[in-house]
A and B are shown apart, each in its own frame.
Chain A
Amino acid sequence: MATPLMEMDNIKKNFGPVIALGGVSFDVFAGECHCLLGDNGAGKSTFIKTMSGVHKPTGGVIRVNGKEVSFATPRDAMTAGIATVYQDLAMIPLMSVTRNFWMGREPRKGFGPFKWIDFKTAHRITFEEMARMGINLREADQAVGTLSGGERQSVAIARAVHFGAKVLILDEPTSALGVRQTSNVLATIDRVRKAGIGVVFITHNVRHAMAVGDRFTVLNRGQTHGTAKRGDIKPEELQDLMAGGQELAELEGSLGGTI
């Protein structure tokens, strides 16, 4: 069997007396979309922050391409090819698409200590990458604030892909979006996966997960409840696992299976 691009082995994380993660294992292979499902407070955020180098795990091992790593900063994780797109922190709305796209890695030209941003190249590449994601910008220096929520997610995804992400972690990319924008983002995920990138899709929406996911892992109260392959599990079962079982099943019954 191939080595996973990224492997989180028995990750534990405590915040003082609070156990946020009690031994979570998770892995992602090239070209697959591995969905991490969980209700609010399940530890999803803590887990992806550990994956992306924001938090250091209290225990457990992180491996990238089979090699053990330790991330001191988010930058370390990015260098290792782990890119994270956060739900509401993806973009800075007051700044232009180009400035956001290149933030932290601005292309420069000039000589010696006198270097400035090569805006011509930056604009051109931003424009091309956006077009590839299916977004036609009016101009690359328009502010991100003028884009819709789905478009902002796509800019962030395009940015990660352009900078050579091997693993793309998406933190609830669809949770605040309308129907059409959601399908655009899901289509983008599909495109990214087909390009050979391992996608980690965090969501609490089973339908969105079922639409693109290859494998599914459910996180509940800081624990995983196993990983299932596509076709091995029904949406209802996922839903139950997320909620911790019984109660929701009863609730769902009274709502006629609409959640």
Chain B
Amino acid sequence: MTDERLKQVSSLRRAMIRPELGAICGAILVFVFFLMIAGDSGMFAPEGIKNWTVVSAQFAIIAVGACLLMIAGEFDLSVGSMIGFSGVVIAILSVHMGWPVWAAIIAAFVVAMAIGALNGFLVIKTGLPSFIVTLAFLYILRGLTIWLSISTTRQTIIGGVKEAAVGDPLAFLFGGVIFKDLFQWFGDMGWVGTFTRGTRTGQPIVEGIPMLVVWAIVLVIFGHFLLTRTRFGNWIFAAGGDAKAARYVGVPVDRVKILMFMFTAFCATVFATCQVMEFGSAAADRGLLKEFEAIICVVIGGALLTGGYGSVIGAALGALIFGVVQQGLFFAGAESSLFRVFLGTILILAVIMNTYIRRLITGER
């Protein structure tokens, strides 16, 4: 019963038509664009590359969580508030209460993931849209963060984490830099610029790969593998594609969704910890609007807002586009407010293209 109306598809077309196609095209376009308008501004020199790589990696870390959650059919609007909250928890515990930094970091992860689980639990038990439940937590967590910060230290910015973190094993995992020797060698070979003055003379300007970037890469690979290769990944797709149908064949949909809320909280805390270690301080207003930026990355990457379809690689490319555009406009000397115009335009174009591609793949009408 081969349907004669099904066209034979060439292997090239098959390789091309994938969820990430829109994001791949977008990324190429963005790079070409900035090579043209900001090619000689230092954006593509080692220091410039490090600059937008770090920004993209920040987006990527929270986008991986948001992506898996969105594919599982839910949203988390509390990501931004969670970032502020986790950061302040680390700072209060380590600086104000005198805990070792590693213990403060672990505590922040535990608390954040517990709140993620609570988010998921409320969504599952009440049957309310996650949009509403996590919107409530956007406010609750932000308010709690400011209150905690002011009631313990009388300020909304808590410094001194860097001093407390010296020699801490876990702090390095989030704020450290790896491959220093390699980059020193790059510097000696003249591939990376070196400082010519001051105390760091002879050291490369880019001293290595920040752990933030390592986290982003690890999370993207982990997320991609989990989603496309494992049984649990199949359940993530199923939970978002049709929760009822999934339940009927024995997929533990509730567990999958709650775990994804926890994973999103985990990613937000990774982001927060890296930021606290980098700045040496936590601030109650950190992470503002990050939830939407994460969702934008995910949607540019080809995920369907209603769940059941998407790609972690796509989300990572979305984050790359986001970072390159934000920093590229800075390098190009453009008015910074134009960044939002540019971003909005990319968002619409990417989603139009993604919708078209998705229809090709899924036969959806």
**Which residues of chain A have a CB within 8 Å of any CB of chain B?**
52, 54, 73-75, 78, 84, 86, 89-95, 99, 102-106, 108, 115-117, 119, 134-136, 138, 143, 145-148, 184
Stretch at the interface among B92-100, B142-150, B235-243: B235-243
Indicate if the CB atoms of B364 and A74 lie closer than 8 Å.
Answer: no
Stretch at the interface among B104-112, B226-234, B275-283: B226-234
Number of A-B contacts (CB under 8 A): 92
Which residues does chain B contribute within 8 Å of A134, judged by CB atoms? 1
**Which residues of chain B have a CB within 8 Å of any CB of chain A?**
1-3, 6, 8-9, 225, 229-231, 233-235, 237-238, 241-242, 244-251, 304, 308-309, 361-364
**What CA separation (Å) do A54 and B244 show in the bound complex?**
11
Main secondary structure of the interface of A (DSSP, over half): loop
Which residues does chain A contribute within 8 Å of B249, judged by CB atoms? 74, 78, 103-104
Q: How far is the CB of A30 from chain B (nearest CB, A)?
A: 23
Name the residue in B3, B231, B235 with the highest tally of chain A Cβ atoms < 10 Å from its Cβ. Answer: B231
Indicate if the CB atoms of B237 and A94 lie closer than 8 Å.
Answer: yes
**What CA separation (Å) do A135 and B3 show in the bound complex?**
9
Q: How far is the CB of A170 from chain B (nearest CB, A)?
A: 14
Which residues does chain B contribute within 8 Å of A91, judged by CB atoms? 245
Q: How far is the CB of A108 from chain B (nearest CB, A)?
A: 6
Indicate if the CB atoms of A89 and B362 lie closer than 8 Å.
Answer: no
Q: From the candidates B6, B225, B248, B251, name the one contacting A54 in the complex (CB within 8 A).
A: B248
Indicate if the CB atoms of B248 and A116 lie closer than 8 Å.
Answer: no
**What CA separation (Å) do A145 and B2 show in the bound complex?**
16
Indicate if the CB atoms of A93 and B250 lie closer than 8 Å.
Answer: no
Q: From the candidates A52, A105, A116, name the one contacting B225 in the complex (CB within 8 A).
A: A116
Name the residue in A92, A105, A138, A143 with the highest tally of chain B Cβ atoms < 10 Å from its Cβ. Answer: A92
Which residues does chain A contribute within 8 Å of B3, judged by CB atoms? 148
**What CA separation (Å) do A235 and B242 show in the bound complex?**
37
**What CA separation (Å) do A201 and B314 show in the bound complex?**
43
Indicate if the CB atoms of A90 and B245 lie closer than 8 Å.
Answer: yes
User: If A78-B250, A86-B248, A103-B249 touch, does A146 touch B362 (CB 8 Å cutoff)?
Assistant: yes
Indicate if the CB atoms of A95 and B308 lie closer than 8 Å.
Answer: yes
Indicate if the CB atoms of A94 and B362 lie closer than 8 Å.
Answer: yes
Indicate if the CB atoms of B244 and A94 lie closer than 8 Å.
Answer: no
Indicate if the CB atoms of A93 and B248 lie closer than 8 Å.
Answer: no
Q: From the candidates A84, A106, A136, A148, name the one contacting B234 in the complex (CB within 8 A).
A: A106
**What CA separation (Å) do A56 and B1 show in the bound complex?**
40
Q: From the candidates A73, A93, A117, name the one contacting B362 in the complex (CB within 8 A).
A: A93
**What CA separation (Å) do A106 and B233 show in the bound complex?**
11
Indicate if the CB atoms of A104 and B2 lie closer than 8 Å.
Answer: no
Q: What are 26 A-to-B residue pairs whose CB atoms are below 8 Å?
A: A54-B248, A74-B247, A84-B248, A86-B245, A92-B238, A92-B241, A92-B308, A93-B241, A93-B362, A94-B308, A103-B246, A104-B246, A104-B251, A106-B231, A108-B231, A117-B229, A117-B233, A117-B234, A135-B1, A136-B2, A138-B9, A143-B362, A143-B363, A145-B363, A146-B362, A147-B363
Q: From the candidates B1, B2, B237, name the one contacting A95 in the complex (CB within 8 A).
A: B237
Which residues does chain B contribute within 8 Å of A145, judged by CB atoms? 362-364
**What CA separation (Å) do A82 and B308 show in the bound complex?**
27
Indicate if the CB atoms of B230 and A116 lie closer than 8 Å.
Answer: yes
**What CA separation (Å) do A148 and B1 show in the bound complex?**
12
**What CA separation (Å) do A116 and B224 show in the bound complex?**
12
Name the residue in B8, B233, B244, B363 with the highest tally of chain A Cβ atoms < 10 Å from its Cβ. Answer: B363
Q: How far is the CB of A14 from chain B (nearest CB, A)?
A: 22
Which residues does chain A contribute within 8 Å of B229, judged by CB atoms? 116-117, 119
For the complex of A and B, the 8 pairs showing the least CB-CB separation, nearest first, are A146-B363, A145-B363, A92-B241, A145-B362, A75-B250, A104-B250, A143-B362, A89-B245
Which residues does chain B contribute within 8 Å of A148, judged by CB atoms? 3
User: If A145-B364, A146-B362, A146-B363 touch, does A74 touch B230 (CB 8 Å cutoff)?
Assistant: no
